[in-house]
Homo-oligomer: A and B are copies of this chain.
Amino acid sequence: MSEVENAVPQRRPGGRASRVREAVHRAVLDIVAEHGVDKVGIPEVSRRAGVRDSSIYRRWGTRENLILDALLAASERALPLPDTGTLRGDLTAFGAALIDLLDSPLGHGLFRALAFVTDSEEITEARKAFWTTRYRLTTRMISDAIERGELPPDTDARIAIELLIAPIHFRNLLTGDRPDAEFVDHLVTHVIRALRPGDDGRAEDGRA
């Protein structure tokens, strides 16, 4: 997208608005990566982006909306939804892209920042909205698989996404292991089995 903008820099309608949005987002993400999400303030964003703070308030309304918009845009750019035609292909591609993002300075700063939200109730709400939107977007991989008949219609899409991304974030944030392609393949095998009808141990537990 930004290449198209660079190729047609002046006349395209919305060109200036879109350059402003990009500069402001970049400033927000830099501050998040350097100092954490709690430290994002509109005066500092205005200074770094070279955009008047009145313009920022007019466009985004609140600091929380601005942070949320910047984080969501960055995630969508860094984690485009794959469309490989199979559930296994989609989950594998998405897992690999997530590992690459977590290895990058942006991703490293972004998810550490999200893990350490200690500020206002508004920031906590923005974080919640971030994940709600991320789940809504990524569950398209699951609904596509249901449409193709690869998964049962009543599949819980959120737990499907969590089973894939949580172990990757867990290794990155907590154990410090770097997940690799072999791990993703192994994980995807388990996730797909988890989502298909099978024996879930209730029989042994006497609660079947």
Contacts and interface: CB of A to CB of B under 8 A. Distances in A.
Contacts of A189: 200-202
B115 A174 contact: yes
A112 B116 contact: yes
Q: How many copies of this chain?
A: 2
B88 A163 contact: no
A97 interface: no
Contacts of A202: 88, 189
Interface in A76-115: 86-89, 111-112, 114-115
16 contacts: A87-B201, A111-B174, A114-B174, A115-B115, A117-B176, A128-B176, A131-B175, A156-B186, A159-B187, A166-B167, A170-B170, A188-B200, A189-B201, A190-B194, A193-B194, A193-B200
Contacts of A159: 167, 186-187, 190
**Residue of A86, A127, A193, A199 ringed by the most chain B CB atoms within 10 A:** A193
Contacts of A204: 86-88, 148, 150
Main secondary structure of the interface of A (DSSP, over half): helix
A163 B190 contact: yes
A44 interface: no
Interface in A161-179: 162-163, 165-167, 169-171, 173-176
Contact of A89 (B173, B200, B205): B205
Contacts of A35: none
A163 B207 CA distance: 22
Nearest to A134: B175
A163 B194 contact: yes
Contact of A127 (B167, B175, B193): B175
A193 to B, nearest CB: 4
Contacts of A54: none
A162 B167 CA distance: 6
